[in-house]
Amino acid sequence: MVTIIDYGSGNLRSVQKALERIGVEARITDDPNVVAESDRLVLPGVGAFGDAIRAIRSRGLAEPILAHVRADKPFLGICMGLQLLFESGSEGGHHEGLGILPGDVTRFELPQGMKIPHMGWNQVAWRKGDGMHPAGNDGDHFYFVHSYVARPRDPAVIAATSDYGGDFCAAVARGRLFATQFHPEKSQAAGMELLRTFFNQR
């Protein structure tokens, strides 16, 4: 059973439905005890970094998430669920994140004329040997909606990049933790195949 963490923000049902389409049973919960007992976690989310991390802490969800990752159990972060893994975010002030990965989350710095948020389909380039890209080749398009980007201090955690006014971190991986800035649940066939790969391999 996969547990989707509910902290009051985001696309929980669409993630659940995407997992059901690939044959993965998933429950949605905000109960920290259920999260603590889970074998596999999904941390989705949209919205502002500060609001999200406050909600996670106020619901007592931070510690079971940290314990799960420390135990190297399968963990999937989506969009805000990637950003919250880092030490800090600068949206609406300085906010401490979960601190699982070294680095911070800052607003896009783009050439004049490029729009924020970055919204739409972009190609993703996967790091060699990552194993998460089902076909083993670059070129698939995934759906992004974001104004802020993760800037990992350790380049080894970057599993994939994409290009919007310059390369940015599109996915991270460490051990059995994997997280994407894009939305696999909204990325049609490529997204479904990526979810299938993650849950089959992990």
Domain containing residue 157: CATH number: 3.40.50.880
Number of domains forming the structure of the chain: 1
Question: Rounded distance, CA 97 to CA 62, Å?
Answer: 10
Tell me which residue range forms the domain holding 70: 2-201
Confidence at 138, pLDDT banded by 50, 70, 90: low
- CA gap 168, 177 in Å, rounded: 19
Is the model's pLDDT at 160 over the cut of 70?
A: yes
Cα–Cα distance, 57 to 2 (Å, whole number)? 21
Q: What is the model's pTM?
A: 0.94
- CB 158, CB 180: distance < 8 Å: no
Catalytic hit among 79, 118, 133, 146: 79
To the query of whether residue 169 is one of the catalytic residues in this protein, the response is no
If you count them, how many residues does the chain have? Answer: 202
DSSP string, 17-66: HHHHHTT--EEEE--HHHHHH-SEEEE---S-HHHHHHHHHHTT-HHHHH
pLDDT bin (cut points 50, 70, 90) of residue 135 is very low
Catalytic-residue membership of 87? no
Across the chain, what does the average pLDDT equal?
93
When pLDDT is averaged across residues 103-120 and rounded to a whole number, the result is 94
Please tell me which residue in 37, 95, 185, 193 is annotated as part of the active site: 185
Q: Could you report the per-residue pLDDT of 21-78, keeping only the tens digit for each? A: 999 999 999 999 999 999 999 999 888 999 999 999 999 999 999 999 999 999 999 9
Catalytic residue among 68, 118, 146, 183: 183
